[in-house]
């Protein structure tokens, strides 16, 4: 392709809202253009890369038994109502009505739609397993779209949904998808870290994310420091095991719990400074509520409550921090003074017409010498002991894990921490959707059987952006050979007609050998062409001018290493195709 046919859309200026390299470089190099908040148009080069990723995904999905279909972007509300998610999905799902006042949603995901397709033709266990996938558009009304293609509102995903007669079959396909994903990302030139993950709104029993390590990653990954263990998990999923080197609380079983005045001091940091005790020896109370419940959670004072763990434990979806009125009704005090000792209400009782649900982190079990809110304004309680002053019937894992905590798999080594971008996610959904949407087939005995399901997603645009995050320098993008729009960026410095004819012949010869070439035949200064060649990032930059024509040697620059070579036409072909 010639620049005179396919113009460059490069720019010297970064987008005003660009915060990360991929957003900055994909915009400057003319791969994408922003049309609205979280909405991007793919220009020719960008569309080429996007389609190459799609094709890699398609080939690997087909190789591992996937069957491609295509679903509408808009899904009927009645499908979401069948699954129960119409009211559970947050504002990220854009809802609408047509002229007949029938409800629809711009699909943020397609579990319901694909289950509906499957139940239209699945009748017998003999048709199982089947893995249906699509490469289609999704829409999520993100509250703060950012990082260009990494977190936008409209995007393309490959989402697959498998249907099985039993869990053994689901496990087999799950493992095939793990293998397919490894192959997909390897072909895209991405180094991924598979980690255990939370299933979120998708539900299900098992979940694994494919993460790319990056300083701009929105996810925190925790890895076991012992390579032989190999544990890797998303922070939101990682079970908390306290490092024994942190030390235990002081013993105070024989000291009576007593209230003491703290006045306006309510935070753990303020009261710890007053008493001289470590924040670890405090009980932190965190209170949420929803339309029907109050969630009262207690964790040790130096750690954060994991909202993900709380949400999954409680089965909560749309919840918020409890209001001052709710806290006062529950504790009889202002916010900041809640504690488990002497609280008037018990788990399961009604507080202002809402059901109280109480959760203790398991690390408070058996602890003594603790300080907690006294459930009265201006006071805390010291010398508190679990089992004497309050009792934990069932402890839960409620704390956010961090680097330095103990690995929950080997239970010996410490965890290390890194940031990551999610490019793929696989789930074992179980029967959540097939049961609610009454998908049923006949088993070998002619009796109804509800299939179990799996779900497997890859963000195509996010994979493209993440490739740039991993592969760029101060001059521009460095494309992997499998993703690059063109393999060679041919810079023509030809002036005379004979020189132009030589460049045209070289261009034709390379194309005839199956090598994709972008010929920069613009009437521009050499510096402009070289800068654009480095910015767009094709693997080989080949310069042809009077000097190279006379010497019979082409000037070849390897974009990734920056190495410069002088090669004959034959040597260039061997290098590129080798």
- Specify whether the CB–CB gap between 77 and 86 falls below 8 A: yes
Same domain, 302 and 374: yes
pTM: 0.85
Structure confidence at residue 251 as a pLDDT band (50, 70, 90): low
Dihedral sign computed on CA atoms, order 240, 243, 249, 251: positive
Structure confidence at residue 567 as a pLDDT band (50, 70, 90): very high
Q: Which residues pair with 379 in a beta bridge?
A: 261
Q: Per-residue pLDDT tens for 410-460? A: 999 999 999 999 999 999 999 999 999 999 999 999 999 999 999 999 999
DSSP symbols for 390-455: B--SSEE--B---TTSBPTTTSSSBEEEEEEEEEEEEEEEETHHHHHTT--EE-TTS-EE--EEEE
DSSP symbols for 168-188: HHHHHHHHHHHHHHHHHHHHT
User: Token pair of 520, please?
Assistant: 């920069």
CA neighbor of 192 nearest in space, from 473, 379, 469: 469
CA neighbor of 341 nearest in space, from 506, 439, 333: 333
Same domain, 258 and 370: yes
Same domain, 58 and 194: yes
pLDDT of 217 over the 90 cut: no
Residue with tokens 């508190």: 384
CATH label of the domain that carries residue 58: 3.30.930.10
Same domain, 251 and 390: yes
Q: Which residues pair with 541 in a beta bridge?
A: 489, 557
Q: Which long-range contacts (CB under 8 A, 24 or more apart) does 151-154 make?
A: 151/38, 151/218, 152/38, 152/39, 152/40, 152/461, 153/37, 153/38, 153/39, 154/38, 154/39, 154/40
Q: Per-residue pLDDT tens for 158-186? A: 999 999 999 999 999 999 999 999 999 99
Structure confidence at residue 197 as a pLDDT band (50, 70, 90): confident
In a domain, 290, yes or no: yes
Distance CA(60)–CA(564), nearest Å, equals: 35
In a domain, 480, yes or no: no
CATH label of the domain that carries residue 251: 3.90.960.10
CB atoms within 10 A of CB 459: 25
Question: For position 202, what pLDDT does the model report?
Answer: 45
Structure confidence at residue 252 as a pLDDT band (50, 70, 90): low
In which domain, by residue range, is 164 found? Answer: 47-72+107-239+417-469
Question: What total number of domains does the chain contain?
Answer: 3
- CA Rg, the chain, in Å? 30
Residue with tokens 């894992």: 397
Same domain, 205 and 57: yes
Distance CA(405)–CA(420), nearest Å, equals: 19
- Specify whether the CB–CB gap between 415 and 405 falls below 8 A: yes
DSSP 539: S
Residue with tokens 């993900």: 308
CATH label of the domain that carries residue 555: 3.40.50.800
Question: For position 25, what pLDDT does the model report?
Answer: 98
Same domain, 231 and 273: no
Same domain, 186 and 298: no
Same domain, 65 and 185: yes
Q: Per-residue pLDDT tens for 311-333? A: 989 988 789 999 999 999 999 99
For 114, 167, 199, the CA distances from 430, given in Å and listed in that order, are: 15, 8, 12
Average pLDDT, the chain: 94
């Amino acid at each position: 392709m010639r620049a005179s046919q396919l113009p460059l859309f490069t720019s010297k200026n970064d987008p005003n809202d660009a915060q990360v390299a991929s957003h900055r470089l994909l915009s400057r190099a003319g791969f994408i253009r922003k049309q609205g908040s979280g909405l991007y148009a793919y220009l020719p080069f960008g569309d080429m890369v996007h389609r190459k990723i799609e094709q890699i995904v398609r080939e690997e999905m087909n190789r591992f038994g996937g069957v491609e279909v295509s679903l509408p972007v808009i899904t009927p509300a009645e499908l979401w109502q069948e699954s129960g998610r119409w009211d559970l999905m947050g504002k990220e799902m854009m809802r609408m009505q047509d002229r007949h006042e029938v409800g629809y949603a711009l699909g943020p995901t397609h579990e319901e739609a694909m289950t509906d397709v499957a139940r239209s033709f699945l009748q017998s266990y003999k048709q199982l397993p089947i893995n249906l996938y699509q490469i289609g558009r999704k829409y999520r009304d993100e509250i703060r779209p950012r990082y260009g293609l990494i977190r936008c509102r409209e995007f393309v995903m490959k989402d697959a949904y498998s249907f099985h007669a039993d869990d053994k079959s689901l496990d087999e396909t799950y493992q095939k998808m793990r293998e397919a994903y490894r192959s997909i990302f390897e072909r895209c030139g991405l180094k991924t870290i598979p980690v255990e993950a939370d299933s979120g709104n998708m539900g299900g029993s098992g979940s694994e994310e494919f993460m790319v390590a990056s300083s701009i990653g929105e996810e925190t990954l925790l890895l076991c420091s012992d390579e032989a263990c190999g544990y890797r998990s998303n922070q939101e999923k990682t079970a908390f095991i306290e490092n024994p080197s942190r030390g235990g609380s002081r013993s105070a079983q024989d000291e009576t719990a007593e209230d003491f005045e703290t006045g306006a001091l309510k935070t753990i940091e303020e009261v710890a400074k007053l008493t001289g005790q470590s924040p670890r020896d405090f009980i932190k109370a965190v209170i949420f509520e929803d339309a029907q419940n109050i969630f009262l959670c207690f964790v040790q004072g130096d750690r954060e409550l994991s909202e993900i763990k709380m949400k999954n434990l409680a089965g909560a979806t749309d919840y918020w921090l409890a209001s001052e009125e709710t806290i006062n009704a529950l504790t009889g005090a202002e916010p900041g003074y809640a504690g488990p000792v002497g609280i008037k209400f018990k788990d399961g009782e009604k507080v202002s017409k809402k059901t109280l649900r109480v959760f203790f982190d398991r690390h408070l079990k058996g602890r003594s010498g603790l300080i907690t809110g006294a459930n009265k304004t201006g006071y805390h309680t010291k010398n508190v002991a679990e089992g004497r002053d309050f009792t934990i019937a069932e402890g839960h894992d409620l704390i956010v894990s961090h680097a330095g905590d103990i690995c929950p798999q080997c239970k010996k080594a410490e965890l290390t921490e890194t940031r990551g971008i999610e490019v793929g996610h696989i789930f074992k959904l179980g029967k959540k959707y097939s049961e609610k949407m009454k998908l049923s087939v006949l088993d070998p005995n002619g009796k109804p059987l509800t299939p179990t399901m799996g779900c497997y997603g890859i963000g195509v645009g996010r994979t493209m952006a993440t490739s740039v995050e991993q592969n760029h320098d101060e001059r521009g993008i460095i494309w992997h050979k499998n993703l690059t729009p063109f393999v060679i960026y041919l810079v023509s410095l030809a002036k005379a007609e004979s020189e132009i004819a030589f460049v045209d012949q070289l261009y034709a010869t390379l194309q005839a050998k199956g090598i994709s070439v972008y010929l920069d035949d613009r009437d521009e200064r050499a510096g402009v062409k070289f800068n654009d060649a480095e910015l767009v990032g094709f693997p080989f930059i080949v310069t042809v001018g009077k000097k190279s024509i006379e010497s019979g040697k082409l000037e070849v620059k390897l974009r990734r290493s920056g190495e410069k070579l002088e090669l004959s036409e034959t040597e260039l072909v061997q290098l590129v195709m080798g």
